[in-house]
Copies of this chain bind each other. A is one copy, B any other.
Amino acid sequence: MKKTTINDIAKEAGVSKATVSRVLNHGELVDEETRNRVLDIIQKHRYSPSLVARNLSNRASNTIGIVIPEIDNAFYGKILRTIVNITDAEDLIPVCFDTGNNAEKDVRSLCVLRDLRVGGLIYAPSVEYGAACVTKQAKQLLDDMGVPTVLIDRHVPDFQRSGVFFDGFDAGYRATKILIAAGHVNIGVVTGSLKLGIARARLDGYRKAHEECGLPVRRALVFEGDFTSETACLLSREMLSLPERPGAVLTCNNDTSLGFLQALGEKKLKIPRDIEHVGIDEIDVFDDLHMRYNHIARSRVEMAQAAMALLLAQIRNPDARPENVWIAPRFVLDARLERVAVKHKIIAKTQKGASRP
């Protein structure tokens, strides 16, 4: 039992396949009568042309590749969903890979996408985690593919492409400023692997805030993790056991915040009674439950939309110049911290009521 093809239709309709192809693609160029006849037969056989053949013939593909780490992380999950909703609306076909933050998988995924001759690419690289040679391979592949590409959330070092990024430096900087303004001098920080640019940026912001305020950055208060809750919890336990326990803590992504909060719970410490805390990234459940959680949100929907906008623009106009979009941090603070932040002009003013992304 074979799939019916354009030939079968043509034969049965007593026309050439060119005509069938025409009613399929440029219906108006075909005599109404023959068109209807062909259409009828198509319907009868429930025929629908093969995209594979069509793509080959057109040497163009309406397929776009998506390469992200940790699909099941709420951050990327939301991004992915936003992306596929857009691809859907634009009649693009999303092919999706998860790298698990493994640079080798970046390369493998890009290989497949290259062989698939996708027409575009949204890419959240984990290559920074990997060896230099892997990064080089990935860049090479991107070049080889020669298709519109938009980086999202993370950079590829020394690589000139469009991208949508979160201003992690600003987030780290302002978060720390706020804590300092609230009277803290002893501020701990749990961040991700400093091999990752985004982790470094956030920590740099933390440092800058200290310098600007004439405060020393105490090495003992800087904890380099890996953006997982497990590691963050271990580090946080350590931090909270310090003889001079920090009065405030900055945690640099959603899972890190969770790890920290877990450690906090174990020690029976309460926010803000015993310690102050600002996290980076929203945590949906806390929102749902209206739980207190001072944090800086990076709008996932906004990022994904911006990325797709850039991608579509590039697909439509291939010689568009690379363009970077920076997504501004959004502050979600309790009344007290917000007052402090506004008073010190660290944030513009209350953003309450801003729709959750």
Residues of A within 8 A of B (CB): 1, 3, 46, 48-53, 55-56, 61, 70-74, 77-78, 80-81, 84-85, 88, 93-98, 100, 105, 108-109, 111-112, 114-117, 140, 144, 146, 229, 258-259, 261-262, 265, 283, 285-286, 288-290
Enumerate 5 A-B pairs (CB-CB under 8 Å) in ascending A order.
Answer: A1-B146, A52-B61, A74-B74, A88-B105, A94-B95
CA distance A212 to B48 in the complex (A): 53
Q: A56-B56, A288-B258 are in contact. Are A74 and B77 (CB under 8 A)?
A: yes
Q: Using A72-B80, A74-B77 as known contacts, list a sample of 13 further A-B pairs with CB atoms less than 8 Å apart, ordered by residue number in A.
A: A3-B117, A46-B140, A49-B115, A50-B115, A51-B115, A51-B116, A70-B81, A71-B77, A71-B81, A71-B84, A93-B95, A93-B116, A94-B96
Question: Which residues from chain B contact A81 at a C-beta distance below 8 Å?
Answer: 70-72, 98
Interface centre among A77, A111, A262 (most CB of B within 10 A): A77
B115 close to A48 (CB less than 8 A): yes
A93 to B112, CA, bound (A): 8
Contact A52 B50 (CB under 8 A): no
Given contacts A52-B117, A56-B56, A95-B94, contact A77 B84 (CB under 8 A): no
Q: Which residues in B have their C-beta under 8 angstroms from that of A61?
A: 52
Complex-state Cα separation, A220 to B28, whole angstroms:
60
> Copies per complex?
2
- Report the bound CA distance from A84 to B71 in whole Å: 9
A88 contact set on B, CB distance < 8 A: 97-98, 105, 108-109
- Min distance, Cβ A106 to any Cβ of chain B, angstroms: 12
Q: Which residue of B lies closest to A2 (CB)?
A: B59
CB neighbours of A112 from chain B (8 A):
51, 93
Chain B residue at minimal CB-CB distance from A254? B285
Residues of B contacting A71 in the complex (Cβ-Cβ under 8 angstroms): 71, 77, 80-81, 84
Closest residue of chain B to A84, judged by CB?
B98
A245 to B252, CA, bound (A): 42
A274 to B53, CA, bound (A): 64
- Chain B residues contacting A84 (CB-CB under 8 Å) are 71, 96-98
